[in-house]
């Protein structure tokens, strides 16, 4: 199998020192691209969900409406930058004059950025991409999705549970779709692998107004008051 940028060969064991060094430089460059490219996007709310839903799917329209209401609060809408739910969220923000950005993952079967992005960065590694989504977001909205959506959902829960991030609301939107997931989390409490209070990290809802109120009550945006946000972007650093 040929190697390409972005591959991590987990089963090969230690590589030679030069290959390991090149890999570390590649990871650094991926983080550098993300940090410099997203430095001026403003406080974000990230919306996750399936890339497979068409424009006719009920959750596509719901996501549009929800993203529009979040954008009206002054937040930039961030997504994974692709189609489906991600496109719906970026479209919703765009239609009300809000800012819309994407943190796109480079895949073997190319995922093209959707047409509703004001700005996007292309990331080679999922773990660096997740770092960007956490770094610039003040809340996550988890719409119906698959493995990738669940990956982001449980990563955020773990970071909150362990105190790595605080004041970070997570909204699980779609009660019927997520009913088995909610039951699984309830079972974790019963089995004693998580605490009863850990359930409080998640708002499960079907109501856009309830989601908006939850964000307003639980998000404290501090970064917009920092002096560095008054600086102008430097284009040769990839900022805009």
CATH number of domain containing 63 = 3.40.50.450
- 100-105 β-sheet, strand order: 119-123, 100-105, 76-79, 44-48, 137-142, 170-173, 202-205
Band of the pLDDT at 232, cuts 50, 70, 90? confident
Residue 190 inside a domain? The answer is yes
Residue 137 inside a domain? The answer is yes
| Nearest alpha-carbon partner for 142 in 74, 201, 216, 188 | 201
Q: Each residue of 23-67: pLDDT tens digit?
A: 899 999 999 999 999 999 999 999 999 999 999 999 999 999 999
User: Tokens 């699980």 sit at which residue?
Assistant: 172
Residues sharing a CB contact under 8 Å with residue 113, sequence separation 6 or more, in sequence order: 81, 82, 102, 104, 120, 122
Residue 127 inside a domain? The answer is yes
The pLDDT assigned to 115 comes to 95
Q: What's the pTM value of the predicted model, to 2 decimals?
A: 0.88
Residue 114 inside a domain? The answer is yes
Band of the pLDDT at 86, cuts 50, 70, 90? very high
Domain that holds residue 107: 44-220
| Nearest alpha-carbon partner for 159 in 207, 198, 122 | 198
Residue 123 inside a domain? The answer is yes
| Consecutive H or E run containing 62 | helix 58-72
Residue 24 inside a domain? The answer is no
Structural domains of the chain, count: 1
SS3 155: helix
**Using CA atoms, how far apart are residues 188 and 222, in angstroms rounded to an integer?**
34
Residue 237 inside a domain? The answer is no
Q: Each residue of 113-168: pLDDT tens digit?
A: 999 999 999 999 999 999 999 999 999 999 999 999 999 999 999 999 999 998 89
Among the residues of 162-226, which ranges form H helices?
179-191, 208-218
Residue 21 inside a domain? The answer is no
75 alpha-carbon distance from chain centroid? 14
For residue 82, count other CB atoms closer than 10 A to its CB. Answer: 21
């Amino acid at each position: 199998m040929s190697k390409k940028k972005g591959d991590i060969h987990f089963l090969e064991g230690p590589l030679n020192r030069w290959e390991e060094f090149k890999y570390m430089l590649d990871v650094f460059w991926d983080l550098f691209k993300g940090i410099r490219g997203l430095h001026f996007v403003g406080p974000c709310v990230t919306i996750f969900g399936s890339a497979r839903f068409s424009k006719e799917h009920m959750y596509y329209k719901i996501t549009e409406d929800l993203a529009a209401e979040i954008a009206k609060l002054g937040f930039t809408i961030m997504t994974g930058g692709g189609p489906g739910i991600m496109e719906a969220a970026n479209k919703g923000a765009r239609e009300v004059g809000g800012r819309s950005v994407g943190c796109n993952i480079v895949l073997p079967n190319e995922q093209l950025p959707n047409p509703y992005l004001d700005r996007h960065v292309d990331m080679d590694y999922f773990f660096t991409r997740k770092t960007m989504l956490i770094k610039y977001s003040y809340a996550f909205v988890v719409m119906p999705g698959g493995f990738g959506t669940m990956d982001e959902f449980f990563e955020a829960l773990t970071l909150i549970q362990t105190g790595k991030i605080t004041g970070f609301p997570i909204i699980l939107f779609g009660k019927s779709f997520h009913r088995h997931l909610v039951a699984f989390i309830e079972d974790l409490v019963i089995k004693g692998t998580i605490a009863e209070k850990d359930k409080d990290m998640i708002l499960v809802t079907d109501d856009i107004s309830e989601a908006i109120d939850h964000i307003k009550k639980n998000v404290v945006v501090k970064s917009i008051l920092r002096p560095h946000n008054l600086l102008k972007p430097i284009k040769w650093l990839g900022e805009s």
